[in-house]
């Protein structure tokens, strides 16, 4: 079995900037795990554990559905968290998909998942996970922290980056954290203007 997900990897300088946000100290009563700098990515779909032979099938299908896309840019938006109500579990930075390319990839992906009889996901909210919250004892302290994060994130908000490819990653969970390695990369066609 392979634990697989489809994602957009990020440029190194952007990862470094995102990681600088982790320097804001977490308040008392908020325990979490900041995503490792090298691991930042934008998940398009989490496949979960799939048998090896299905990975090949998925890759072929992805090859087909991603054909025809050309490089496009995405813009960093402000921070947010999931779930919106109740205890926040995941803190992230959102993305603006101005040209609607992510939406289009997702629509094609959902059709392809249906054809492969794989589980689909109704909602797609493009984000880069920053922090996974393990314990939150003081909601007010969280609000303060989040305000500080909103403030700090204005530095990087509006930055754009070019997406030239999509990657099918293998995720291995280790005691030191997840290790992501590319299984297959799907480069977009055409020259960048
Ligand atoms: O980009 P994010 O962080 O949202 O949360 C995991 C990460 O997404 C998600 O897959 C991405 C790469 O690990 N993920 C992990 N387990 C999951 C699950 N059981 C999951 N998404 C949905 N269901």
Residue carrying the six token digits 């909602």? 123
pLDDT of residue 111: 97
- Rounded to an integer, the average pLDDT of 143-167 is 97
What's the pLDDT band for 103 if we cut at 50, 70, 90?
Answer: very high
Mutate to test the pocket of ligand 1, among 2, 5, 10, 113 (most ligand atoms within 8 A of CB): 5
Q: How far apart are CA 62 and CA 108, in angstroms?
A: 9
pLDDT of residue 191: 64
Indicate if the pLDDT at residue 57 is higher than 60.
Answer: yes
Residues of the chain with pLDDT > 70, as a percent, come to 98
Indicate if the pLDDT at residue 21 is higher than 80.
Answer: yes
Residues of the chain with pLDDT > 90, as a percent, come to 97
Indicate if the pLDDT at residue 193 is higher than 60.
Answer: no
Residue ranges around ligand 1 (CB below 6 Å) = 5, 43, 46, 48, 129, 171
Indicate if the pLDDT at residue 80 is higher than 90.
Answer: yes
Query: Nearest Cα to 74, choosing from 165, 168, 158?
Result: 158
Instruction: Classify residue 23 by its DSSP letter.
Output: G
Largest pairwise CA distance in the chain: 51
Indicate if the pLDDT at residue 179 is higher than 70.
Answer: yes
């Amino acid at each position: 079995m392979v634990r697989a997900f489809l994602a957009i990897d990020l440029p190194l300088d952007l990862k470094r900037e995102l990681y600088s946000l982790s320097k804001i100290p977490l308040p008392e009563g908020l325990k979490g795990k900041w995503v490792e700098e090298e691991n930042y990515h934008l998940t398009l779909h989490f496949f979960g554990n799939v048998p090896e032979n299905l990975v090949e099938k998925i890759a072929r299908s992805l090859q087909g559905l991603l054909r025809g896309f050309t490089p496009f840019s995405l813009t960093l938006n402000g921070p947010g968290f999931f779930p919106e109500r109740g205890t926040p579990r995941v803190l992230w930075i959102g993305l603006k998909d101005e040209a609607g390319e992510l939406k289009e990839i997702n629509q094609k992906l959902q059709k392809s998942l249906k054809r492969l009889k794989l589980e689909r996901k109704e909602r797609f909210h493009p984000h880069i996970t920053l922090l996974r919250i393990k314990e939150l004892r003081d909601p007010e302290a969280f609000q303060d922290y989040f305000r500080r994060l909103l403030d700090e994130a204005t530095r990087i908000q509006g930055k754009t980056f070019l997406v030239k490819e999509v990657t099918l990653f293998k995720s291995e969970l280790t005691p030191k954290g997840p290790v992501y390695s590319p299984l297959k990369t799907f480069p977009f066609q055409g020259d960048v203007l």
